[in-house]
Amino acid sequence: MTTRAEFLGRVRAEMAKTDGLFPAAPSPRPGNPREAAETVRRQLAERWPQALDRFRVEFERVAGVFHRVPSLVELPALLARVAAEKGAREVVGWEARAMGWNLSAALTPYGLTVHPAPAGDGDEDRRRHREDAARAPLGVTGVDWALAETGTLILASGPGRPRSTSLLPDTHVAVFGPAHLVESLEQVGLLLEALHADGGEAIRGGMINFITGPSRTADIELTLTRGVHGPKEVHAVFVDALDGPA
């Protein structure tokens, strides 16, 4: 039987074989989370183009598929094209208020059946959405943050934005704009601290998902397999002007 020390020793040995993308170090908790978060937002208002370039490089490095459109006007045609490539006739998505735009209005004209997440948190509605998500080939969500240094999509669950929308379909498409970009995990921590410091803005969901590329596992005979614990493909759609109706 492998002891705890032996197991951790093997993990350290494997991790030592390659250098990390960046050095890891603990960060102190901010004394004023709201002020720290506002500083991050001001910095990213100017630096988001550089953060986007880094995000695209890292996202594609982990086998993500990156798209960019000027505004929500061009978004429905892009989503319909991805759905056609996947042979999808059904799509699940976040509820319109959680998304910031109406997925049903955007995709129904293309002959797609859209199942939006329920706005509330009733057990029956949640069960029905899980069943829709398990059946639909395509799930469309927004994001809370897009982390540039690792190409990671960060999604907090909650009413109108359940985990099943991004985790159960074979293909997950995440839509975001300049305001969602962050450069580092440290900045994500500051923004989370600010959310929890403000009772009116605190995240209500029970889970925050960090999604770095498609689902992968090599548990079985060290054979890399995609899609066992989540989507086989993850697409990120950056919208330069993420406002107005789709």
Over residues 219-229, the pLDDT tens digits come to: 555 555 555 56
- Answer yes or no: is 91 within a domain: yes
Average pLDDT estimate for 111-116: 96
Residue 38 falls inside a structural domain: no
Residue 42 lies in a domain: no
Report the predicted TM-score, pTM, of the whole model to 2 decimal places.
Answer: 0.84
Within-domain flag for 19? no
Over residues 89-102, mean pLDDT: 95
Tell me whether residue 5 is in a domain.
Answer: no
CATH number at residue 62: 3.40.50.10420
CA distance readout (Å), 98 to 119, 122, 171, 227, 245: 8, 16, 20, 26, 14
Tell me which residue of 105, 222, 207, 214 sits closest to 156, measured CA to CA: 207
Answer with the residue of higher pLDDT: 196 or 186.
Answer: 186
Domain span at 108:
53-241
Give domain status of residue 39, yes or no. Answer: no
Total tally of structural domains belonging to the chain: 1
Q: Is 15 exposed, middle or buried (0-12, 13-18, 19+ CB in 10 A)?
A: exposed
